[in-house]
Structure 1
Amino acid sequence: MHLGSPNSRSEQPMELDSEVLRSTMEEDPYLTIDQLGYYQSTIAHGMEKFGKLESLDTLLNAIDQEFTKRNIHVPSDLSDATSLDDYGNDSTPARRAAIHHEHQPPLLHQPTATHLSPDFSLLNFVDASILTKMELPTFDGNLLEYPEFSARFATLVGNKPQLDNTTKFCLLKSCLRGRALQSIQGLSMTAENYNIAMDILRTHFDDKVTMRHILYTKLSQLPPCDPEGHHLPVLYNRMFSLVRQFCNGGDDSKETALGALLLNKLPLRVRSQIYDKTGNSHNVTPSELLQLLTDIVRKDSTLFEIEYHSKQSPQLSNLHQSFLAKEGRQSNKPRLPPRPSTAKGKMKRCQFCNSLFHTSTNCNINIFQTPKQRSEQAKIRRLCYNCLSNRHSTKECTSRFLCTFCSKKHHSSLCFQMTSKKLGGIPPTAKQKTPSSVTRHPSRLQSHTVQMTAPPLDVPVVSENRCQISIQPDNNQDSTDSSEHPLSPGECNISQLQTVSTHHSTQHSLQATLMCATVRLFNPSDPSKEVTATAFLDSGSIKSYITAELATLLELPTLTAGNITISTFGSTNSLELPSKDRNIGVYTEEGAKYLDVKSVPTLTGSIQHIYISSDPNRRFIHSSCTPSILIGNDYFWDFVLSDNFYCHKMPSGYRLLHTTIGDIIVNKKLDIKNSEIISLFASEKELSHPSNHDELSELVSNFWKFETIGILDDPMQSDDEECLKFFNNTIYYDEKERRYVVKLPFKVDPKLLPNNFTLAFSRLCSQSKVVQQNESHMKRYHAVIMDQLQRRIIEEVPADETYKPSHYLSHHGVIKKNGNDIKIRCVYDGSAKGHLSLNDCLYRGPVLLPNLTGILLRCRFHKILISSDIEKAFLMVGLNSASRDFTRFLWLINPKGPVTHDNLITYRFTRVPFGLVSSPFLLAGTIHFHLTATATPISQQVLRNTYVDNVFHGVRCTREGKSFYKESKELFQSAGMNLRAFMSNSAELNKFFEEKEQVTSTEHQNLLGLQWDTSADTITVQLPEHPPTHIVWTKRKVLKHVASIYDPLGLISPITLRGKLFLQSLWRIELSWDDPLPDEHNEQWCHLISSWTTTSFTLPRLLTDVNDNSDSSYDLHIFTDASSTAYCATAYLVHRGKNAPPTALFPMSKSRLAPLNKAITIPRLELAALMIGAKLTTYLVEQLDITISRKFVRTDSNVTLR
C-alpha cells in the first residue's frame, strides 16, 4: 500500500514493514505511536480513494460492454487489460507499477493526428448516459410551452455536435407527451427521421399567430381583482407572465384595447394611482401598464414587509430561543410573513397519501415510510423538494425553511438522516391503542367508534352522526400482517378502495352538494373532436374515469386493456369487467390539460348539483345531470387549486369554490327532504359494473310508461313565469327598423359566459376544410352570410368594441338537396361549451304555441283552407344591442384563403339567431305580443292557428280569401315579417297568389306533418314502405318501423296499435337491440307487416263546413273500450242539418297500451278508458270552433258504471 509523508503524501511514497517499525520504536516509542496514528488515518483515506477507483472501474467496464455491443474500435497501445481486482490482489511493486502504467490514458499527451479529434462514439455514449440522468424538458402539445421547450432542448441536446441524430431522436421522443408525441408517432427511430420530427413539431406547435391569440384570450379572461386588492399580487404575477409572452419583444403600441381591458381588472385604488402617473393623457398599452403596476406592487410589498417586521418583538422569547438552541438553527435571516390560513386550526394535508389526519413528515402509510419512498412519490407527483407544493418546481421555490434534522434546504420528510424512531409519526397516546391491540369485530362495524387523538394506521371513516373517527375493521387480527390474510370482496383494504359518491339520508338531513362542473373535453390526437360533458370531482377516488360512450364519441384510441374489479357498498359480491386505458384532454382557465383515464361502461346515475343564477330571488339553480367523467385524486387538486383559487362562504351556507374549470358550489344546506344516492367503492383493479340498458333502452322503456294516463305538475312553471315577465318588460317596437326588438332572457349573469373564441376558431378551421373541398358549396355558404350582412341580419363588430364581454358561436353548414337544387343553411351552435354554454345561461321560456292536433282538427272544418309561412321567421325579430355581443361568430374575409387571423372577420347578430334554446319562445312571444296588441278582425284567428312560422286560415269563398291575403300581409309587415308561400285548395285563389307572389306553387303541401293534396283536397297518412324480404329483423329495426308512422289524430289507430303491441312483447323477452328476433316472433312480425297491404291512407280533408249553415247542430259521442292489452276512446260527431239527414263524422281517436310490468284487471282498464274518453270530450269542446249541443261518453262495462 502506498503511503505518503505528512508533508508530501503523493511525491514521497514509502513502505511500512516490520524492520522500520522495530528500529523506530527502539529510538522513540512516543514518536512511533504518533506515526502509527497518522498511518492509520492515511490508510483509511487511501481505502476511500480505492473505493472510488472501484466505482470508476465499474463504469469503465460498462463502457467497454457498450463498445462491444456497438462494435466500436478503440485505438490503444495495450495488448491486454487488467482490472482493479488484479491490482488489489498483486503485491509485487514491479507488477503494481506496470499496472499503474497500463491504466494511464495512452498517448493522450502526444499531439499526433490520430488523437487530435475525439472519438465521437465514446462521447455519444457518455453524454447520452449523463443526459438520461438530467431533467430534460417535457412537452405535451401546449403551444404556449413550445418556445421554452424548443430552446431548452436545443441547448441540452440539439446543439451538441457530439451526439448523433439517432441519440437525439431517442432523447426527443422521451421528452414528448400526449398530443406532441402522437404527432411523430409514425416515425421510426433513425437518424434521418430526427430532422423530420423536428420539422413536424415546428409546423404543428410553432404557431406565433395562434399563440398570440391564445394569450390575448387568457388575458381577457383573467378574473378581476377583489375591490380591496388582497389578491393583487396573484393577479399581477399571472398578468406579468402572460403579458411578457404576449409582447415577446414585439411592439404592442396598437394594443391599447387590451391595455384598457386589463386596467379594468384592477382595484379602484390601483387604477387611481395609474391615473395619477399617466395623467389620463393617453391609453396605456399592456407593457406600459405592466411597468406601472410593477412599481405599485413592489411598493405595496415593501411597505408590507416593513410593517410586518416593525411589529415583531426585538427580544425573542425564552421559549423561542430555547427552541432555536435545541435545533441548532439560529439565523439572522428575516423570516417571510406567515401565509394566511384558509381555515382556522386546519391541519395540512399529507402530500404523499392525501390524508388530513397527519402531516407529510408523520406519514405512516407503509409505502411512504422511508425517505427514498417519499422522494420517489414526490418525483412522480412533481412536488417541490423544499415545501412539497405542486404549484412550482424546486428551482422556483421561495421557501426559506430548512430541514429540522440536518438544517439543509429540503423538506424534513425527505431527509435521509431521519432515524427509524422519527419515521412513522406520533406514538400512540393513552387514548389510542396500537394497531396490534385493536380487536376487530366485523359484525360490530356500525357501533365500533373510537375517539382518536393521533392518526391510526387503519383508515378512518368519518361518522356524520357523531363527528368522530371510527375504525373500519376487517377479519385480520393484526393490521401489520394484512398481506397474509387477503380480504374478502366485502372487506376491501382501504388502500385499495376509492369512493365514487357518498350521501346520507335522513328525514331532516343536511344535504351536501356534490362537486360537479361542466367541462369541455377533446381528443388529444384530434382536437377538432370535442364534446361538453358534466365532470364529477371526487377526491376519494384514486383514479379518474370516463364512460365508454364518451370515449366512443371522441374516438379516443385505446392505450392498454385490462380488467378492473368493483365491490359496491352493502354487497359481498365483487364483479370483474374489462376496462381500457385512454388519454383525454380538458380545457381549463390555464389551458389544455391531458389526463390518463380508464373507460368504464357507466359511472353513476343521475345526480343533483347546483349552479349560480343572476336572479337575486333565485340565487341557486338545482340541476340533474349524469356525469361522463370522474376526476379522481390523481388530478383532483390540479383542477381545484390554482393561482386564482378562492373560496367564498355564502349566507345560505354554501361555499363557492373558484377552480380552473369554473365555479363550484359545495358544502351543506338544511333541507327537510329525503334523498338517496348510493355510495360506491372500487378496488385497485378498478372496475365499474356495466349498465344493464343503454340510453336508448331507457328512453324506449319510458315509452310504455307514457302510454298510461297521468297529470304531472310542470317543474319549469316558475321559470316560465319569470321568463315571460322579463320578455314583456324588455320587448319594444323599433320605429326606425319597423320591427320588434327583444333581449336574450339570461337566467345567470352573462358575464360568466366564456369567450369561446378558441373553440369558434378551431371549428371554423375544420368547417372551412370541409366546405372548401367543394368550390360551389363554399360559394353558397359565403353567399348566405353576405346576404345576411346585406339585409342587416348581421353586422361587423367595430374594432373599438372587441374588448366588451362577448361569446362566440360556432357554426356549420347543412346541405339540403332537392333534385338538382342544392341549398345550404348555416346552423349556429348555442350549446358549444367551455364551462357554461350560451344555451345553459338562457331560459327556455314557456310554450306559447297552440296545440298542433287542435290546429289539424280546425283545418278540417273549413271549405277553403289557406296555408302560408313567415319567411326566415327567427331572423325577423330584432335583437337588443345589449345582447348582440353574445352572438358573435367568425368568418373569412376571403373565403378562398386560409384560416388565419389576418383573414378573419367578426360578425354579430342584430336579429334572433336560430339555434338558441330561447329562440322558439322569442319568436312565438313576439308574434303573440304583436297579434294581441293589434286589433284587427283576423288577428285572434291568426294567433289561434299559427304554429311556429306556419299560418292557417279558413274562409267561405274566394273573395274572403283575397281579403285575408291583403290583411294578413299587412298585419305581419307591420311587425317586420314577410308572410309568403300562400296556398289553398281553391284553383282561383292559387292563381291569385301566384300573380301576387310571383312564384309557382305545387299541388302537394305539408300540413303540419300530413301530406295535403290541394287539388283533390285530401290528406294522407303514410305507412312505411314494404321492407325487403331478406332483411334480418331486430328490436332496433322494429322500433324504427313502428315509430315512423305519424298519426296525431289517431285516424289509423287499429293499425298502429298492433305494431305497438308487438313491440311491447319484445320487452318481455329482454332481447338486445341488435339480436335477431326469435323465429316465433320473427314469423309474427312478418305476418303483421304483410297485412299492411297499402303504404298510405287517404281521407278527405273536409269533414264539414262550419260556415255552411247556421242552423246546424252537433252531438258528440265518445265510445270507450278496453281489453287485457289495451284501451281506447273514439270520438264521433253527429251533424244535424235543417233539411238533411244526420251525418256521422270521425274527427279523432286515442288508444293506450296496458302497463308492461303491472297486471291490471279488465274493470280497471275499462275505468282508464272512461278517463281518456272524458279527457277527449273536454279537449274537443275546447279545440273545435263549433257549438256542441249534447255530449255522450259510452261504455259497455256495467262494473265501471256502478
Structure 2
Amino acid sequence: MSEEEVKLLVHKRGACAENQRDAQERKYEEFEVLYNATCLVIESLKDALSTSQIISVAQPEAAQQSQVIVQQQSLRAPLPTFDGKYEHWPRFKAMFQDLMSRSSDCDAIKLYHLEKSLVGDAAGIIDSQTIQDNNYAQAWTILEQRFENKRLIVDLHIRGLLNLKRKTKKSSKELRLLLDECCRHVENLKFLGQELLGVSELFVVNVLTAALDKETREHWESTLDHGVLSMYSVTLKPSPNFQKPYGQKLTNSVTSPSSATCELCSGQHPNFKCSVFRSMTVSQRIAKVKECRLCFNCLRKGHRSNMCASEKTCTKCSQKHHSLLHQEYPDVATIIPEKQEVEATSQAVVNATKTPAEISSEESVSNALVSHVSTQKPRFPLKEVLLLTAVVSLIDDSGRHHSCRALLDCASQVCLISSDMVRKLRKQPWSTNTEDVGITCKKKVRQGIIVTVASNHSEYKVDIPCLVMPQVSGIIPTRKIKMSKWHLPVNISLADPEFHSPKQVDLLIGNKFFFSLLKSGQIKISDDMPLLQETIFGLVVAESVDVPQQNVVLSNVVTENIDKMIQKFWEVEEVPDAPSTTTEEQLIEDHFMNTHRRDDTGRFVVRLPFHESVTKLGDNRALALKRFLLLEQRLQRRPELKQQYEAFIDEYEALGHCCEVNEAADLADVKRYYLPHHAVFKLTSSSTKVRVLFDATARSFGLSLNDVLQVGPTIQNDLLTILLLFRWPQFAFTADITKMYRQVWVDDCDTSFQRIFWRKTPTVPIRVLELKTVTYGTASAPFLAIRSLLQLAKDEQADFPEAAVVVCDHFYIDNVLTGADTETDAIRLRDDSRRPFASCYQAVCPVADIEVV
C-alpha cells in the first residue's frame, strides 16, 4: 500500500460516528508520529546501504570493511544533549551544528537526531507540526528564539562565579570541584566572547580565593611574591609547593614562611620572627631595618613603606610601620631641637663615656628615628582655629538685658540656646519634636523659643528662633591664648573682649543670620597675627594662632561624656542573660510533667494548671447566659455573620472538640465555669474571616477562670532568633499546624471549666457544650499547647532527630520557619517534619513551597 493510499484510508472519517471523532483524532496523531519515525529509520538504512555499496565497488575488500565500519560508527556516534539550561545552549549549538555539517544526512534525519538530543526541560519544545513537516530549519528557529539570549547566559555565569560555594575544610576533592566550577564559568564566558581582561581577571581571582578554606588560602598566599598581582591563569597553575598533598611541609625557599631566609641574621625564618631582632631595643631595630634596607611596614626587602601593599599596620597606633618598630615618640620639638648647637653639645658630653662602636651604632639609630619621624604626619594640629565669639544682650519680656556669650557659626542650619539661659530669661518655651544632628552625635530636641538679640555697640536688634538644648557647645577656646606678643590697636571695639579666655557659650547663631551680621571692614595686624573681622556686634578675631601642641580639638559638636557613651553602647549590645526559672514557672512545669499523658491515638491529654485560689472561682453562669442572649440578638440581625458563626460551632462539634452535657446530672461539688463567646473579624485571613473568641476573664462573683489559672513561662525561641536562623539556609520553607490548640485534649476532670451556651435559633432550647480541647482565650492555653509540642519532639527524637530540632528551635507558636542548604535536603526535611505529627496532630499544612532565600 502506498503512502497516499494509507493517508487516504486514515482520512476517511465519514464512517466514524460523531461521538468517536475525538478518539479517532488521537489515533490518527499517534499513527502519524509512528509513521514519521518509521520513515526516518528506513531513510537512514537506505542511505547506509547505498553508501556501503558504493564503497564496496571502489575499494579493495580490506579497505571496504574499514570504510563500512567508519560509516556505521558515524551513524551510532553519541550526540551532544541539551537539558534546557540557558548556560549550556551555546556549547550544545556549536557542537551539534558542527557534527551535522560533517554529515550527509537529509534534513529529516537531522531533525530526528535534534529531537532526541533535547532532554530534561528542553524535551518537547519542538512542536509536532514542525516534526511532521520535517522542517529542520524551523526547529532551529524555535530553539534559537527560546534560548538565544546572550545577556541572560552571561549573567548566569557571572552569578555562578559570585556564588561559588566556600570550602569548609581542607580537601583535595573539594578544591578540585571548586576549580572545575570556576573554570566552567570562565571558559563559557570566553566562548561567548567575554575575555578576562584587567580588573575582571583580578575580580575572578578575588572571588575564587575567597572561596578557599583558611589553611588552603594561607598556603596559596605563601607562594606569591610580595606586592605582585595574581592573574587568573597563574592562580589556576599554582607552584609545585601549592600542589603538594595536604600534610606535607612547603619547601619554597623564596616565599614559604617555614623556610624563608632572615635578612637580619641569615637564619631560616621570616624577619619578624627573628629572635635576635626581637631582643633588640626599638631604636636598635629601627637602625637594623634601615641598614638592611627593609620596609618599615612588612619588614621585607625590595620596597619602601610608602609603597608597601600590605594592609597590616601597627597594632598600637595604626600607623604604617611594623608593631616591633613602634615607639612612643616625644614631641617633634624635642626630637629635632631648633638649635643644632645644643644637640651637638649634649651629644658630645654623652659620647665621652662611650666606645666608638657604640657611638656609631647609636648614630645610625638616631638617624633612622629622625628619618622615620619626619615622614609621619603630626598626630594633632600645631595651630588652633579661633571660632568667632561675641558678647551680646538678650532682652527678656520685662525689657531687661542679660549678657550672653554667643558663637557665630556659618556651618549650623539652626540657632541654639542653652536651657540655663532660657531660665534666666524666664521665657516659656514652645514644644517641638526636632532632631539636632552633629558630626558625631544626634539629639532629640523637645523645646524651642524666640529670643531678642541686641548688639552692645549699636542699635541693632533681631528676633531669633532657637532650639533649647542643655548645652550649646564646649568651652571656647579649649585653653587660654597668650597675648603678650600681640599688638592690637588701642581704639577698637572687640565683640568679645575676652575671646582668648576659655568660657562657656550660651547662644549659637547659625547660617540664617550669620552673613547678615558681617560688615565689610577688616583689620590685618601683621602676617603672623590673626585677622579682625568687623560685625554688627563689633570686631571678632578670626583665622588661626600658634599654640602649644594639644590633645583636644574643638569640632563645635556637643557630645556626651565618652564613658557614658561607651556604657550605653555596651548596654544596647549586651546579650541578656538567660532568665532564671521562678518558683511559679517550676511549679507549672512539674504539674505538666506529672499530669500529661497520651491516649490510644497518640494525642496529648493535659490538666489545667490551677492556682490554690481555684476555690474562689465565682459562679458566672448567669453572666454567661446573659451575654449569649445578647450575642444571639446580634446574630439575628446579621444573617451572614450568623451563618459563619454556626459553621464554626458545627465544625467544632463535628470534630469532637466539644460535646453536649446535661447540667441536671452535675454533682453538687462539681466546679464549673461558663465561657462567654463572641465573633472576631480577621479580614486578612485566607480561610476563615470570622473566628469565635472565648472570654475566660468574665467574672460575676469571685474570680474569673484566668484569675485562677497559671500562665506559664515562655519556652520557645523569640521571633528575632527564629528569623536569624531562617536566613541561614539557602532553601527555605514555612508551614503551620492546623488548629494547634485544639490538637491537645483537656482531661475530663477539667472540661467542666470550659462550658458554653449555644443554640442555632431562639425557638429551640439552649444547649450546654463542654470544650474538650485546649481553648484559645484561657491563660494557660499557650503554655499547654507549646509544651505539648516540645514534649512531642522529645518523645519522637530517637526516630526523627532532625524534625525534633526543627520543632524545638524553629517553631514560633504554631508556625515553622526553617530550611536546608540544598533543595533535596529541604524537601526531605519538610517531609520528615510532618511524620512525628501523624499520630497526635491532624495535619501540618505547608503555606509555601520550597523557595530560595
Same fold (TM over 0.5): no
Q: Which structure's CA Rg is the greater one?
A: 2
Higher helix share: 2
When normalised by structure 1's length, the TM-score is 0.22
